[in-house]
Amino acid sequence: MYSIVEPDPVAQDQIAALPEDALRYLVGVLDLIELEPWAGGP
């Protein structure tokens, strides 16, 4: 089973610094990883 883990503080700061457009793409990638974790390349 999966567990929810908060990103480390450095990653949280980097995510917070992303522009709004980039956040949309990040959300899309995270959704893909959640639904099909082995679907993409490394």
Confirm whether 6 is domain-assigned.
no
Q: What local confidence, expressed as pLDDT, does residue 4 receive?
A: 82
Q: Which domain holds residue 33?
A: 12-37
Residue 30 lies inside a defined structural domain of this protein = yes
Position 7 in a domain: no
Residue 16 has pLDDT above 70, yes or no: yes
Is 16 contained in some domain?
Answer: yes
- Give the SS3 label for residue 17: helix
Task: Give the predicted TM-score (pTM) of the model.
Answer: 0.63
The CA distance from 18 to 39, in Å, is 25
Domain count of the chain? 1
Residue 25 confidence (pLDDT) above 90: yes
Token readout for 16 is 């917070």
Q: How far is CA 21 from the centre of its chain?
A: 14
The single residue listed with the structure tokens 């995510």 is: 15
